[in-house]
Amino acid sequence: DGPQAELYTTGLTEELLTALPRFKEIKVFGRETSKSLPPEVETSRIRGELGARFLLAGGVRVSGSRVRVTARLLDTQTDEILWSQTYDDDIGVRDLFTIQSDVANKVATAVAQPYGIMAQADVSNPPPDDLGSYGCTLSFYAYRAELSIERHGEVRNCLESAVARYPSFATAWAMLSILYLDEDRFRFNRKPISSEPIDRSFQAARRAVQLDPGNTRALQALMTVLFFSQRVSEALQVGERALATN
C-alpha cells in the first residue's frame, strides 16, 4: 500500500518479465501492455483483446520492514483462480533485490514450468482451436507424466508432423529427441528403419540446440542423450549451460 509498495511492485514486475520468458513454451505480454489495462480489468476483456489464456495478478503490502507479496493465476476462459500463493519476507534480513528475484523465480517456476500450473490447465482443458504444433508440446508433457507406450507413439507422430511443417521449431526437436531416446531405453514403438534411435535422438537434440542455443529444453535433451550414451563429462557440461540459461 502507498508509494513504497508501488515502488516494490514495479521492481517485482520487472523481475517477473525477466523470469517468465525463460520458459520458451509461453508468450508473455510486456509491461506496456499491462500498464494500458485498468487495475480491476475483467479476464474476459484480456482474452478478447489480447487473446491471452492466463492472467498473472497480485499485489505488494509493506508494514515497517515486513513485505508481503500475493500472486494468483487466473484462467481467462473460465475466470477460475488456478493457483495462488503468499510470500512473506523482511527487508531488514534480506535486501530488496534478493527478495524480488527470489519471489519472481518462485512464481515463474510454479506457473510456467513444463509441469506447472499452465501446462496442467492446458492439458486438461485445451483451447478448441489448439490442434497444431503447440498442442503437440502439451501432449508431450502429458506423456512424460505417465510414460505410456500408447501416448509415446501418438506424441512422436504429432511432433514429427510439427517439425515437418515448422523445421525451425527448436522445442519440438528437443522433445522429439527424448521420444527417440525412449525408443531405445524403454523399447517404446521402435521404428523398423536402419538408423538407431540413439542416433536420431542425437540428431534431433543437436538440431534443437543449433536452432536455439539458449533453449533450455534443447540443452536438457542434448544432456540426456549424452548421459545415456555414457558421455557423462559432456553431459555435465551441457547441463551447466542449461542451468546458466534458466
Mention every residue, 6+ apart, whose C-beta is less than 8 A from residue 87: 68, 69, 70, 71, 103, 106
CA nearest to 238, candidates 206, 198, 200, 197? 206
Instruction: Please write down the HEC assignment for all residues of the chain.
Output: CHHHHHHHHHHHHHHHHHHHHHCCCCCCCCHHHHHCCCCCCCHHHHHHHHCCCEEEEEEEEEECCEEEEEEEEEECCCCEEEEEEEEEEECCCCCHHHHHHHHHHHHHHHHHCCCCHHHHHHHHCCCCCCCCHHHHHHHHHHHHHHCCHHHHHHHHHHHHHHHHHCCCCHHHHHHHHHHHHHHHHCCCCCCCCCCCHHHHHHHHHHHHHHHCCCCHHHHHHHHHHHHHCCCHHHHHHHHHHHHHHC
Give the separation between CA 215 and CA 115, rounded to whole angstroms.
17
Domain boundaries, the chain: 2-113, 126-245
End-to-end, the C-alpha distance of the chain in Å comes to 32
Which pLDDT value is given to residue 197? 95
CA 178 to chain centroid, in Å, comes to 17
Q: Which CATH number fits domain 2-113: 3.30.160, 3.90.70, 2.60.40, 1.10.3470?
A: 3.30.160
**112 with 23: CB under 8 angstroms?**
yes
- CATH superfamily ID and name for 126-245: Tetratricopeptide repeat domain (1.25.40.10)
Which pLDDT value is given to residue 145? 85
Residue with cell 498473472: 56
* pLDDT tens for the 246 residues of the chain, in order: 677 888 888 889 889 988 888 877 777 887 777 777 776 778 888 888 888 888 998 999 999 999 999 999 998 888 889 899 999 999 999 988 899 999 999 998 888 876 677 776 765 554 433 346 778 888 898 899 889 999 999 999 999 998 998 888 888 999 999 999 999 999 999 988 878 999 999 999 999 999 888 888 899 999 999 999 999 999 999 999 887 766
Which pLDDT value is given to residue 126? 46
**Threshold 0.85, pTM exceeds:** no
